[in-house]
A and B are shown apart, each in its own frame.
Chain A
Amino acid sequence: QDSISEFRIGILGGENAQDRMTSNECYRAKAEELLGVPVKLFTPADYDGVIQGLVGGSIDMAWLGASGYAKAYLTDPDAIEPIMVKTNLDKSFGYHSIGFARKDSGITSLDDMKGKVFAFGDPNSTSGYLIPSIEIPQATGASMESGDYFGEVKFVGGHEQTIVAVANGDVDAGVTWADGMGDWEDGYNSGALRKASDAGLVDMNELVEIWKSKPIPEGPIVLRKDLPERVKLDITTLTASLPYMDADCAYSFMAGEALGFQPIDHDDYISIIEARKSKM
């Protein structure tokens, strides 16, 4: 099949549904112009909604996290292919999982967390679950089961929920993502903490960093494999040239300052896939 009747983009959570629509509206309009078919944005309630859509064939394109990609790949290796990845200003393409707690709790490192409540975000998040769930046990020497090292380990649903839960004191510490550059008090240069701080959701003075992962590869923009080649090519070109064509649009599409996009393929995610496999 070499033509499509519409093109459907799935957008991952992190902001509320309306804001997600708004940030991606300019990209949608450009894609529609280029492809000549209606382009629609969908904002499922969680990570899994997008992955299910890609695997089930009801979503054509999405910007996944690394773990999300691994999940989609493991569910159906023939469903999607990665095309692009975002590059940071320093040309790296990675970020970190950051463990953090409230300053007034007196917790400053994982050592203080023994017997306390620890929060993951979404099970399909790379920085909010996959990487910390592998690296933290290496640091503590115990598993992540509730009661083993931490008193309780739970999922609160997403990056924003983690931040809010820690700030509220519902949990003692949690993990989320940040690029690890810039100042802690700003919530780093980009990432979930920066967004929350910018939005006035938390006061970074009240939080401390207690753990930081090794760099995690940025998630890929993926397309469904059985899209017509033309469409794949058009979208790849559009995405790659976005920063030059329309800087504002690129800023809102990439959720912050970044250099641009560079091509990437499946091999860059093999380690993540292995990591995920190990959790199965």
Chain B
Amino acid sequence: MAETTIGQSVGAERTTEIQDAYMAMTRTKRMYGGIMLVIFIALMTSGFMLADSRNAGGFWDGILNVFNFPGEVVKEASEKITLLPALMVKFFPSLIETINIAAASTLVGGLIAIVLSLLSTRGLARFPRLIGLFRRLMDIMRAIPEIVVALVLIFVLGGGPVPAMIAIALHTTGALGKLFSEINENASLKPLEGLESTGATWAQRMLLGVVPQVAPNWLSYALLRFEINIRASAILGFVGSGGIGYDLKNAFSWGQGRYDEVAAIFILLFLTIVFFDQLSSHYRNKLVGKV
């Protein structure tokens, strides 16, 4: 029974052959694996050493001092702990500005991204030939760091929240556009064909056929982006645009004596980010869970 039923034994010679071939393969694999590992370790260590040498302070000296600065801030803040609530109220309008910048840019960027993503999804595009163009456009929008656009726009438009808003919106358009079009690709084309057969226009097909299918996923990504944009907006404030980042920079630059302000802003920023993080992940779970 055994001989007839278990597959076909391939014979001793063939077995040796397979063993040798496999050993050869294993050796190459091990070699490649080894090389990869060595390359990775070499890259990491040499990168580390290079960064260390090009840095003003060395890693090993610095690591001991990591807590100096937070220590000073905490010390001063705890001495003036009674002032903190008032300071937090003082900086609250700046925080609102930062959040407004994030919200406006997410909205504007998201709305444009919707259009661009529809235009650049195969099967949905209004002008199939221009898909490549719209995709490259989004790639470039994604590639430009917000800070560049913001600073250039400050030169043209003057200070204020608008340059930051435009800069973040631009990046958001590119980033969300790509994600949206990935979602769009998974949308079923059947309802679209159904609508097309009734003589619906492109806009009607998109709005009635695609949007209901993909909106929850869009919204979930947009929420995630909103959270990211709050951070970006704070950072832009730090390098020249308005909002809480600007206050942080001034307080922090002045240093000792205003560390209570620094602490107040840190706390505001931290709470805001955690708040929106939790909010957005809550809604995302809800939205995507429903799908």
Listed in ascending order, the chain A residues whose CB lies under 8 Å from chain B are 8, 10, 40, 42, 45-48, 51-53, 56-59, 71, 74-75, 122-124, 155-157, 165, 168-170, 279-280
Looking at B10-18, B173-181, B254-262, the stretch in contact with chain A turns out to be: B254-262
Determine the distance from Cα of A169 to Cα of B255 in the docked complex, in whole angstroms: 30
Listed in ascending order, the chain B residues whose CB lies under 8 Å from chain A are 55-58, 61-62, 65, 68-69, 72, 158-159, 239-240, 246, 249-250, 252-258
A155 cross-chain contacts in B, Cβ below 8 A: 246, 249-250
Does the CB pair B61–A74 fall under 8 Å?
no
Contact residue among B61, B239, B253, B257 (Cβ-Cβ distance under 8 Å from A279): B257
Does the CB pair B257–A280 fall under 8 Å?
yes
Within the complex, what minimum Cβ distance (angstroms) separates A144 from chain B? Answer: 13
Determine the distance from Cα of A155 to Cα of B237 in the docked complex, in whole angstroms: 12
Within the complex, what minimum Cβ distance (angstroms) separates B150 from chain A? Answer: 13
Given contacts A48-B253, A74-B255, A124-B253, 9 further A-B contacts (CB under 8 A): A51-B255, A52-B69, A56-B65, A56-B68, A58-B61, A74-B257, A124-B254, A168-B158, A280-B257
Ranked nearest first, the 4 interchain pairs of A and B with the lowest CB-CB distance are A58-B57, A280-B257, A58-B56, A48-B253
Does the CB pair B256–A123 fall under 8 Å?
no
B56 cross-chain contacts in A, Cβ below 8 A: 8, 10, 40, 42, 53, 58-59
A123 cross-chain contacts in B, Cβ below 8 A: 250, 253-254
Determine the distance from Cα of A153 to Cα of B232 in the docked complex, in whole angstroms: 25
Does the CB pair A57–B57 fall under 8 Å?
yes
Determine the distance from Cα of A280 to Cα of B68 in the docked complex, in whole angstroms: 20
Contact residue among B65, B69, B249, B253 (Cβ-Cβ distance under 8 Å from A57): B65
A59 cross-chain contacts in B, Cβ below 8 A: 56-57
Determine the distance from Cα of A10 to Cα of B56 in the docked complex, in whole angstroms: 9
Within the complex, what minimum Cβ distance (angstroms) separates A61 from chain B? Answer: 12
Does the CB pair A46–B253 fall under 8 Å?
yes
Determine the distance from Cα of A124 to Cα of B249 in the docked complex, in whole angstroms: 11
- Whether A157 contacts B256 in the complex (CB less than 8 A), given A57-B61, A58-B56, A170-B158, comes out as no
